[in-house]
Structure 1
């Protein structure tokens, strides 16, 4: 497998999610069906929250495929969903069963009854399909159904266990509780409040202690006394029976607590938090039931598959909707059950490509590169908009804000071109998600911070370009020079495996070296990972075999010349084997058939690949168990030991059981019987790996041994040597020992459908009106810099096929070119037009045209766009793309205002908190520009836009008469005229993105409109108190681009019609010019109840379009975010320091400019002031 094998040591599983719920459809148009793949799905909070966010009048179907390697997670999820379907009491019975460690008798009886019911219904696939749950909840495989049925049976029977086993369970639960109660309080649930974390930190810590003391979220003493029965759904997992649930489990970490914290007029209590979470849970359940009762097209489908994410993705990629859907890939490590979806399931047409893939925080468990390798092949290809979400909570370096950029070990632009997707905030330069609470926590705690929540949205760059898919050449992958590509690929290889070298650690500074040593057991990649990356790149770039061989020749030259990676000699045989196994490249010597020598002497024929199986007696594993006692998780590998050399293999599969020889001596096979007791059994451990058979010819078989060992560069290896003075070998056996070492042919799957190389002269080009009048635009050729690390330029060649243009060019006609969108250039020659599209945003003004008049082609050379560079996505940072008559947002997520709680501004400190939050959308660079005076925002349209948003979001900002600004005009500084009014309505909590949304309405005041509405407009001017937002150079254009995105992102109650001006004109926005309307008319007069309640605003209600504004936050992995001390303002008067700002000496959370302001605020503040070390 492409993830190393670990001896698990202490096993934890997560019955309850530890991050706030998110909506999976936040990047889908309301009409777009959702085929959603959840890898490492965890509990069902995100599924329920996604359904809750669906519009009440919606018609699309959401189809969830939920994958988790822990069957207990899925068993609990089905329990919850079926209890909700049966309409049990959401906030009592269902809540208790799912969230409480201890149950009262009534809840326990309800759990047992439901488990027995599910066990009976899951007896056969057909019986489940015919059940009341079968149309909603579906099992992808019999193995998944059987595993969940087994867990439900365990839950139902636990109360009948012998007293000794029940006592052991109680003692295990008590030990975890004692540990949690003896350590410093945990406030993970508070993180869901985002910027308001500090308001509920103390009650969250208290609630964590209360939960582990009582096992419940109940505060009534008699009710607590009745909850004495251990909840069996927390008892069973892959680790067996006992208290293996994550010891920092918090029942409310998945709920949204910002509104609870921000809208309270008093200090928030534990009870407030629980009541808020229960209310939200009830809303989710009610919405779920509502969808089940609606038309069949809206009934969600929830598919379940038990399996490791890597195995499931590999299976889906290879098998899709085939009739025979069997595989030899095991469902997970430590299992032998092959991944196999039901034939009946396949006949239903299950999705094998998805427009949404969420990977939870798998990045922390298998590495970002592995996540991209397994997930990207399953994304629906362009032009359909699709999205991949990745998350991480852990970080490896000292600065978590820079950790994301380091995870790929290479330049993000180059990797984006190779992979075909890019982080949207990387190219847009902003994010609509706030992570300022994580940034502030890290700034306060420093290197002691254990977690930093990084959420990344990946999309295809071309899906953010309005012209890209109007011409066929746009969808073609780029071309790399084979020398440069081979060099880049080797440098990436070196970066991936340099940590195996002891000299790498010695070269680190002391602090980084200490952290690197602490993480040296956390190895998530091996040579197979890299080979699968090569396979992905090869397929994605459609590289011909001839060119690919030249790429790999350059790679091998560097591989052989570089002597710094000392472990290459050890893993070389595995690397070559994996390259052949995955059809990446086959070295010449493997083309010769292996000889029938030694163990192969009796075989009818010896295949290129064989599987080596080593049987490890159970007693030999005691050394690993000893290491695990030190909370280490040592990586494991297999070795071929010879008198002259050791060769190691990290792609190893393991399971407990017995291996038996089968077949004949001429055609050997192996059958495997897995130990049902697994870790608690007595059977040996069976480990296996794949090897090119010819490597066993290098030394006589009787001189070779096969071993299971710990890599000597891991932390566990150092502990083993230092603590015990023993070797790294766990067990070894002679290769000729047929009772301990088995050799069988390895079935080599056929190569994937070969990619047809697409040359620039033969690439297809679809004619659309005047967009390909000159000829054919070929694939973009990428040029890297001298070090082959960065992209310098991309070149597209336009082959001139129009005879008139050919003649004119030969006569000396000069072509012209201009950039019209982030990725597209408009080439004009002799009045004819050609759109030239690149696979990544470019800087069009720095183009070079190279016409070849005799050869009849034109080369268009442009630099690539990147952060802090001009043009590119800055031409329109807020694209709204019309794809198949559905509008797709690219850089902003959608919001359903109906589902977002309102922000109450009358509570103590609410205005100051809002002001501080909005101020945090600026980076330190932007704050510096603002401190320089108005020069900063005048020269930077995005900064000017952020300044405008700050005014809109600041209720404390008043007009000259001291009244809040609720009606704002966009005033163009160049003309001193305004053509757009924004009506500010209400503020809402954007719970999943930890920020605020302003619900408002936009009114374009064009000359035509003003001629019809002069009288009511005059009254609006007189009574409406219009304030002005002054826009400087480029500011008005940026607002015109932003407004369609703001209108589209909250569009849930109406649809674009056939008469939509966007479709007729073919551009969004309709115009970027002053005194012209950028919006279509489809949304006018929709959702305007708030307008109608205001007498002065009411006449304009039929003419406005609803919008949802958000702060636009700087991207913390691109630039520093967080106010400098000099940028802080006084909590009382909002003034600067006198002479400097000082923090409250007790809590360190509130700042004042002077002792006078602190004294004035003390009466209010003292009830909330808690010492910072509490």
Structure 2
């Protein structure tokens, strides 16, 4: 396993999601089928919300593969979906069964009946396929089906348990309820309101307490008294029969509350929140049913697989490469069942690569590097666009905005080149998703903040280049200098594992050391993680064996020379074993066959790799149980102990049960029998790891022991030593003890066949008619030093250069955006080649993505957005601007898109940054269209080129909408290009519009008019759901988007003109222009908080009285939030003066 093994402490699971629902198809064109992989899928809110956001006239199919290691999560999900399919009452029966801890008799009877029905249908795979649910809900494996059937059976039978067991369950629920009721101020559901969360903070806090007091979302006293039956779907999980649902579970955290908070004319109550959530839930269910009753092409497929995300991804990757059905990797830690999809299911052609992969917040649980390593091989390869979503809620350190870069542990540009994907906001320099509410919350709470929601969208950089795929260079990976690449890879290795060394802790400052010690049990990386990263890099770069060996030679030189990582001597054997296991590199001494000595004496042949199995008696685990009671989760490892050296192995698998020797002495094999009682049983613990057999030759077998232990660099190890005065060893046995230590050959899969890069010479030329006759463009060579000369060449798009020689043209495509002004040509006439050297683009640099920050890419006749998400305006509630406070809140939110750097430039009157000028223009449009405090709304705006005083674009503003999932506002409107041809036909109505339309003029400064020409196609495309681009589309005929960036020319195609123009037709002055306008969706472009400072940082706050720092934290006045104090003493000192000015904040 590429994630370390932990002895679990208190187990929590998440029956209900704790973040607001998102749409998984937000980056897909409306016609693009969705093959969607959900790792750690959680509850079905996101699946339902995705289906809800589908266009009513759409035809694409959505295919969800839902993976979760907790079978109870999937069992509950199927229960909900089948109840909806049966059209039970969405807001009563279905709601109660899924969200309430306690049920009334009617809901309980409906639950039991549904569970018994599902148990019967899940008896066989064929019976399920033939059921009413079989065409929609599918099981990937028999194991998944059996596990869910087992849970439904548990639910159905719980009320028949002996009274003592039922009393234990009630006691467990009571303990969790008491804990939550004693916790003050829990309001996770308020986060879903985004920047309006302060408006519903109090009722969500009260609602959390009400939920854990009554176990329901009901407010009618008689109904509450009837809800007395424990909901069995919250009882059973991997922890067994208990109430171990996450202690801060909130039933409404997955719903969107911004519209409710923003549009309410009175104070929002708990009942308002519940009714709003139920209404949204009913909308989702209704949309789901409508898809089932429509054409077969629109019926969604929901595939279910029980398994650890790493195991599932590993299986899918091997299946895609080798077309195998049965795997060898267990479905999860503490399980022996191997991952194996059904043969019948596989014959249907289940997806093994995906254009959308969502990883929930697995980053918090297995680390970002592990998430990237397991997910990226499953992304659909170019030229098809695909997207990976990662998110995190937890953060280390004091500044959560720096946490994302810290998680990568390396330069983001270099990592992007190695991995083939990059965060889109890293290149664009802006985000269409707002996180300013999280920033403000963290600034207000300071170091007391427990969470910070970081959502990252990863895409292939070349999918943001409109020319790359048309000139074929897209598939050519970069070439690194082997010395530089080997050095970089070792530097990353050093950074990953330096914390294992005690001297690392001694080098930290006192506060840093205390925090490092507190987090020393939180280890998500081991040597196998790093080896899988190397494997991914090797495959992505298509490096030949000869070059890769040179890269690794440089790595080994540094590895041997560095004496600071003392634990390398302990984990060295595992590292070499994993390198061979995953076909990264094989050290020369492993090419010699192992000797038939000791335990291998009777084997017919000794393979390179063997699996070592240690049987640990149950009673030896008491020490671990004692540590777990202290809320510690110690990491575990296996050791080979010899008289001269200890070698440790962190890639360990464990499960309770029995291991039996089968086969023959010449060809030994082992059979596992898992204990069905698992943690509550009496069977021993079986732990195993892989080892290169030759390492057992270094010392006689009878002098070696195999052990299970806690690493000595973990915090749990220190507790063990302090509390027990004992070693870190849990159990050990002689290697020669055949009753306790088993050795079997390890199956070694053949190496993956590297994919051949597509040669640009065989790819089609660009659509604009240039001839490619100079030659073929080779792979981009990446130099990581800082001494490279800066070349210069004509750049036509972020990643593509146009080279002209004697009338012939060659297109050179780089795998990453480059900087035009820092390019240089090197011509070797005798060798007959031209070298184009380019500097890599980065945030806040010229050219690169700034050539067109809003690309719309035509791939296989489907238009794909790169830097902005799509919005279905039909599904977005309107914003009511009926009061000055609502306008103030809108203006404040839109203004928060600026970073501190941008605010500083604006104060200085800077107009040299077109993107900043565009942001200022967007801010002005929102302010004027909403109506500021001084005047009426101005819904018709004319864009004026400051250099020429020319007006060639009008914007008609319709409605403001809540973009619920992205915590921001969208302004729907229409754009009209006043070209000469148009004006010749429409002079009379246009003159009337000028005279009576109250046009507000917006001046555009240097570079901004061109930027608007690039932006408008993206704004039109992002809200395109009711119409399609036709064969006559001007984009396709001309081969460029936008059509033009010149003044008085239309940048848009004609396909969207006159579509969705009901608003235009309602306005007498606007009506004549309805057939000529195209609908657009404007939204703020927010600064990227991990790239630059947004809002005032907590560290810059000072006490209003003494101007000192916090003692320990700076805290704002709880009423007005306008002044801050370092301590209670300073607040008391200032209160007599301040109380006359303190007004409760509602802004």
For the criterion TM > 0.5, the same-fold answer is yes
Q: Deviation digits for residues 476-515 of structure 1, max 9, x if unmatched?
A: 1000011011000000100111111122222223333322
Q: Deviation digits for residues 298-345 of structure 1, max 9, x if unmatched?
A: 000000000000000000000139764001110000000000000100
Q: Which moved more, 1:1161-1170 or 1:446-455?
A: 1161-1170
Closer, same or farther in 2 for the Cα pair 1:559/1:145, shift >3 Å? same
Q: Which moved more, 1:442-451 or 1:1112-1121?
A: 442-451
Contact 1:264 1:907 in 2 (8 A): no
Closer, same or farther in 2 for the Cα pair 1:617/1:84, shift >3 Å? same
Shift of 1:1172: 9.8
Q: Which moved more, 1:7-16 or 1:312-321?
A: 312-321
Shift of 1:185: 2.4
Closer, same or farther in 2 for the Cα pair 1:961/1:139, shift >3 Å? closer
Contact 1:959 1:965 in 2 (8 A): no
Closer, same or farther in 2 for the Cα pair 1:138/1:1125, shift >3 Å? closer
Shift of 1:31: 0.3
Contact 1:322 1:346 in 2 (8 A): no
Matched, 1:348 2:348: yes
Q: Which moved more, 1:1137-1146 or 1:489-498?
A: 1137-1146
Closer, same or farther in 2 for the Cα pair 1:1131/1:195, shift >3 Å? farther
3-state SS of paired residue (2:535): helix
Q: Distance in 2 between matches of 1:28 and 1:956?
A: 30
Q: Deviation digits for residues 792-838 of structure 1, max 9, x if unmatched?
A: xxxxxxxxxxxxxxxxxxxxxxx993111000111111111111110
Q: State the match for 1:853 in structure 2.
A: 829
Shift of 1:758: 8.9
Q: Deviation digits for residues 161-199 of structure 1, max 9, x if unmatched?
A: 000000000000000000011121200000000000111
Contact 2:470 2:763 in 1 (8 A): no
Closer, same or farther in 2 for the Cα pair 1:739/1:1170, shift >3 Å? farther
Closer, same or farther in 2 for the Cα pair 1:1139/1:331, shift >3 Å? closer
Contact 1:329 1:339 in 2 (8 A): yes
Closer, same or farther in 2 for the Cα pair 1:348/1:763, shift >3 Å? closer
Shift of 1:932: 1.2
Contact 2:887 2:931 in 1 (8 A): no
Q: Distance in 2 between matches of 1:822 and 1:342?
A: 45
Contact 1:43 1:74 in 2 (8 A): yes
Closer, same or farther in 2 for the Cα pair 1:306/1:1132, shift >3 Å? same
Shift of 1:1124: 7.9
Contact 1:325 1:342 in 2 (8 A): yes
Contact 1:759 1:779 in 2 (8 A): no
Shift of 1:1023: 1.2
Q: Which moved more, 1:646-655 or 1:1137-1146?
A: 1137-1146
Contact 1:1046 1:1109 in 2 (8 A): yes
Closer, same or farther in 2 for the Cα pair 1:1125/1:227, shift >3 Å? closer
Closer, same or farther in 2 for the Cα pair 1:49/1:540, shift >3 Å? same
3-state SS of paired residue (1:418): helix
Q: Distance in 2 between matches of 1:1085 and 1:1164?
A: 61
Shift of 1:1005: 0.9
3-state SS of paired residue (1:321): helix
Shift of 1:1130: 20
Q: Distance in 2 between matches of 1:324 and 1:557?
A: 38
Query: How many pairs align?
Result: 1146
Q: Distance in 1 between matches of 2:983 and 2:768?
A: 38
Closer, same or farther in 2 for the Cα pair 1:956/1:1096, shift >3 Å? closer
Closer, same or farther in 2 for the Cα pair 1:1141/1:740, shift >3 Å? closer
Contact 1:473 1:765 in 2 (8 A): no
Closer, same or farther in 2 for the Cα pair 1:321/1:94, shift >3 Å? farther
Closer, same or farther in 2 for the Cα pair 1:655/1:602, shift >3 Å? same
Q: Which moved more, 1:827-836 or 1:523-532?
A: 827-836
Q: Deviation digits for residues 455-489 of structure 1, max 9, x if unmatched?
A: 00000000000110112233110000110110000
Q: Distance in 2 between matches of 1:1162 and 1:52?
A: 51
Q: Distance in 1 between matches of 2:630 and 2:1113?
A: 49
Shift of 1:1052: 0.2
Closer, same or farther in 2 for the Cα pair 1:969/1:769, shift >3 Å? closer
Shift of 1:964: 1.8
Shift of 1:769: 4.8
Shift of 1:757: 8.4
Contact 1:321 1:349 in 2 (8 A): no
3-state SS of paired residue (1:106): helix
Shift of 1:959: 9.2
Contact 1:543 1:755 in 2 (8 A): no
3-state SS of paired residue (2:760): coil
Shift of 1:378: 0.5
Q: Deviation digits for residues 400-440 of structure 1, max 9, x if unmatched?
A: 10000111110000000000000000000000000011101
- Any stretches of 5+ residues in structure 2 without a counterpart? none
3-state SS of paired residue (1:867): coil
Closer, same or farther in 2 for the Cα pair 1:961/1:67, shift >3 Å? closer
Q: State the match for 1:731 in structure 2.
A: 731
Matching of residues 561-710 of structure 1 within 5 Å: 561-710=561-710
Contact 2:383 2:469 in 1 (8 A): yes
Closer, same or farther in 2 for the Cα pair 1:1164/1:341, shift >3 Å? farther
Shift of 1:1146: 2.7
Shift of 1:773: 2.0
Coordinate RMSD, CA, aligned: 4.1
Shift of 1:1055: 0.3
Closer, same or farther in 2 for the Cα pair 1:1009/1:78, shift >3 Å? same
Q: Which moved more, 1:1142-1151 or 1:329-338?
A: 1142-1151
Closer, same or farther in 2 for the Cα pair 1:116/1:1041, shift >3 Å? same
Shift of 1:914: 0.7
Q: Distance in 2 between matches of 1:1154 and 1:1024?
A: 56
Q: Distance in 2 between matches of 1:249 and 1:73?
A: 14
Closer, same or farther in 2 for the Cα pair 1:1076/1:1129, shift >3 Å? farther
Shift of 1:1158: 19
Q: Distance in 2 between matches of 1:1061 and 1:387?
A: 27
Shift of 1:586: 0.5
Closer, same or farther in 2 for the Cα pair 1:256/1:363, shift >3 Å? same
TM-score (norm 1): 0.93
Q: Distance in 1 between matches of 2:948 and 2:478?
A: 44
Q: Which moved more, 1:21-30 or 1:662-671?
A: 662-671
Q: Distance in 2 between matches of 1:318 and 1:960?
A: 62
Contact 1:363 1:392 in 2 (8 A): yes
Q: Which moved more, 1:975-984 or 1:1139-1148?
A: 1139-1148
Q: State the match for 2:855 in structure 1.
A: 879
Q: Deviation digits for residues 28-66 of structure 1, max 9, x if unmatched?
A: 000000000000000000000000000000000000000
3-state SS of paired residue (2:16): coil
Contact 2:471 2:764 in 1 (8 A): no
3-state SS of paired residue (2:550): helix
Closer, same or farther in 2 for the Cα pair 1:907/1:171, shift >3 Å? farther
Q: Distance in 1 between matches of 2:884 and 2:1141?
A: 11
Q: Which moved more, 1:274-283 or 1:958-967?
A: 958-967
Closer, same or farther in 2 for the Cα pair 1:1154/1:620, shift >3 Å? closer
- Any stretches of 5+ residues in structure 1 without a counterpart? 790-814
Closer, same or farther in 2 for the Cα pair 1:437/1:960, shift >3 Å? closer
Matching of residues 660-1059 of structure 1 within 5 Å: 660-754=660-754, 769-785=769-785, 817-907=793-883, 909-934=885-910, 938-955=911-928, 962-1059=935-1032
Shift of 1:1112: 0.2
Q: Deviation digits for residues 262-315 of structure 1, max 9, x if unmatched?
A: 011111110111011000000000000000010000000000000000000000
3-state SS of paired residue (1:733): strand
3-state SS of paired residue (2:930): coil
Closer, same or farther in 2 for the Cα pair 1:320/1:1069, shift >3 Å? same
Q: Deviation digits for residues 954-973 of structure 1, max 9, x if unmatched?
A: 25876999332211111100
3-state SS of paired residue (2:951): strand
Shift of 1:1065: 0.5
Q: Distance in 2 between matches of 1:528 and 1:206?
A: 46
Closer, same or farther in 2 for the Cα pair 1:911/1:356, shift >3 Å? same
Contact 1:321 1:346 in 2 (8 A): no
Q: Deviation digits for residues 123-157 of structure 1, max 9, x if unmatched?
A: 00000000000000000000000000000000000
Q: Deviation digits for residues 729-776 of structure 1, max 9, x if unmatched?
A: 000000011100000111111111145689999999999953522110
Closer, same or farther in 2 for the Cα pair 1:726/1:762, shift >3 Å? farther
Closer, same or farther in 2 for the Cα pair 1:772/1:99, shift >3 Å? same
Shift of 1:855: 1.1
Shift of 1:1159: 22
